[in-house]
Structures are given as C-alpha cells and as structure tokens.
Amino acid sequence: MKFSEEFLFNIPKTDLHVHLDGSLRLSTLIDLAKQYKVELPSYTESGLTELVYKKQYKDLAEYLEGFKYTVAVMQNEEALERIAYEFACDNFKENVFYFEVRFAPQLHINSNLDYEKILLSVNRGLKRAKDEFNNKEEVKNGLKPLYNYGIIVCAMRMFNKYFSEYYNKLFQAHSFSTEKEIFKYASLELAKAVVYIRDNYNIPIVGFDLAGQENGYPPDTHYEAYDYCHKNFLKKTVHAGEAYGPESIFKAITYLHADRIGHGFHLFHADKIQDPDIKDKDRFIKNLSNYIADNRITLEVCLTSNLQTHPDVKNLKNHTFKDMIENDLSVTLCTDNRLMSYTSVTNEYKIATDNFDISPKKLKDIIMYGFKRSFYPDNYKNKRNYIRTIINYFDKVFSNFYNS
C-alpha cells in the first residue's frame, strides 16, 4: 500500500540510529565554521552540496569525508548545545516523538572539553528542546504524546591518530601498545566514563555503540568495554553488517551482547561471508537470521544511507530490507545522518512504503518496533504506558486519513 507523505509526516515515529555529527543544519555548519575559523571547501549551502554533502557518493569513504568538517565545529560547549538543540527541534517538528541520538565523545575531547562537559552540553540542548515541545498546549492537554530522547555513546573501532588532540595524546601515552590494544583501552575508558556520568549526572545515556571501519577491525577487540556496559545495565547496539559480511553481525551478538544491530545490510548476503570455517554459508545465514528473529534483536535500517554508500545497489527494491520484513524480523527505519544523506525520518518511511509491499499492519509493526525496542530512559512500566499513548495516537492519525 502507498501512503501519502502527509500521513507519514503526521504519524508518531522514532529514530534509533542517527548521528549527531552527521545531522547538523547546513546553515549552522557554515555559521559555526566562520565563527571558529574552521576552513570549509565552500561557505555557501549550494557549494557544500556540490562538493561535500551530495545526494550520491561513490563509496563509503567519500560519504564519511564530510564528518571532518562537522566534528571540527563541535569542539566547545556552546556549539555542542546549539547543534543538539536544533537537532532535537528538527526531529520533534516531524513528529519523531522519541529518538536516540549517538555520537563519539572522544572525538570532541580537547584541552577545554572533557567527558562531563561534552555530554552535559549535548544534554542541555536536547532537554531544552524537549521541554519546549512538551510545554505546547496540544501535549499538555493530551492531544499529542510526550516528546522524549535518549543518548547513545559511540566507541570507535579505530581512529586516525591525527583526528583529535585527545587521540594524539593517547597514542603517545601507549606508544608500546599495538593500535588495536589502544582502541580497546579507549573503548573501555569510555564505557567506564559514561556509566559514571549516567549514574551521577542524571543524563539519559541509554546505550553504547561501536562505530567506524568494520573491515580489519572486528568487534571482539572491544569485548571488555561491552562486558562492562553489560554488567552495568547499559543497553548495547553495534554497527555491523554495514560494510562487512554476516560474520560481523554474528560477532556483535555473541561477543558484545548486542541488543540491536546498526544497519545489518549484509545479513542475507551469503557471498559476503569470508570466514573459511563457515562451510555451509546458506545454513549459517538461515541460523543467524532465525536467531535474530527469535530473540527480537532489532535491526536499525538506514535505506538512503545504504544506497549512498553501496552504489552497486542500483535499485532500492534490491535492498535486504525486503528479506528482513519477509522473515518477520524486528526492524525500525532510521536516518543514519540527516545531513550526509539529505533525509528525514518521514522520507525514510516514504521510500520504504513506495518500494516495498508494506500493509497498514506491517507499517504499524515497524513503527512500534521502534518504540518497543528503544532503550527508553525510564522503568519498564512507564515505557509500556508511553507506548500505549503512541499506539492510540497512531490509530487516531490513521483513522483521520484513511477511515474518514
């Protein structure tokens, strides 16, 4: 069934996989670059659209190029708070009632910023937007659900040692360690820091993520960090199966206790399996997908982003999202990066419903997976009550559009 863009805009939505440093307003990037003397290839929106933030990229490397500019302007408290506030407003305005925004604090550490300042600044911006929207009459009188958010903190599979002041110092301090050992130490340090900040600053840090280059940097290197999060009741998601085969997803689940998987694009691609010990590739895929389905390990699907970073996928209809919904997996649609991908949550649902066979019931299921499998920053009872308000609101919007 095809759904109108107006309907998809109005229904309640989540975004559980979206990067703060990939979702700046282009005008804000230019403004902050001028303010903080950050060199850009162009200082006009049209120029940056042509040179950096394109609608199509030749590969993942080109897609990631734009982050060096966004991260460069996110190196003080004021910029972090402003970007977080605008990000939250942009989501709430399109009826994304709940999102979990992620970023890597270690990319923002410098002589003036530590973990606490970084996370407090981002939270101030998000909370200010949340309070403004929840103070609107339609929310206070119960006509619309409450707006809310969580923060997911990203560890990195690998770093360019020249990317930040912090990592220059880290490599110098561990000069006798291998690169992978350094990355392992960094992830564990981050895990300890965010658990401490969550517990002592009342910030809704709800999850831990692992991002960065998959190929050559397997998830099991970061086992200790994830084990620490696991033992401290911090939920876990992992970028896996985005640029590497199904083994990456398997390791994220078995080594890192992943509650959700970011992307999972290659889940059904048996030809991408490289492990020589896996003899029956089709059986491996079947067992892995069945395990994911049975345990309701939710896949955070980013359609536009995957098309941009996998130009060999010429047609969206060839995306493995089709296999995911046909196998009844728990999936939720996400933006990944609102700026880099020129997208919104509404747009992700529009292209999904335009290209795949999604009934009203299936659409509602996908929407509700986002809320039910979120790392909601409250107790289970309150989460269930909140989801009930979302279900009621979805039904009301659907009725207004299709049963009137």
Residue owning tokens 């955070």: 300
| Helix H or strand E encompassing 97 | strand 96-103
Cα-based distances in Å from 323 to 22, 100, 283, 356? 28, 25, 16, 10
**How far is it, in rounded angstroms, from Cα 339 to Cα 336?**
9
**How far is it, in rounded angstroms, from Cα 378 to Cα 229?**
17
Helix, strand, coil content of the chain in percent (nearest 5): 55, 15, 35
Q: How many CA atoms lie within 13 A of 260 on its CB side?
A: 30
Catalytic site residue from 100, 214, 242, 300:
242
The residues near 157 (Cβ < 8 Å, ≥ 6 apart) are 183, 210, 211, 212, 213, 214, 217, 219, 221, 222
How many angstroms from the chain centroid is the CA of residue 234? 16
| Helix H or strand E encompassing 168 | helix 165-173
Amino acid at 51: L
CA end-to-end distance (rounded Å), the chain: 17
Contact by Cβ (8 Å): 100, 374? yes
Reduce the DSSP state of residue 86 to 3 states and report it: helix
**Residue 242 annotated in active site:** yes
**How far is it, in rounded angstroms, from Cα 162 to Cα 169?**
10
Residue 95 falls in which region: left (phi positive, over 0), alpha (psi -120 to 50) or beta: left
Q: Which residues are catalytic?
A: 242
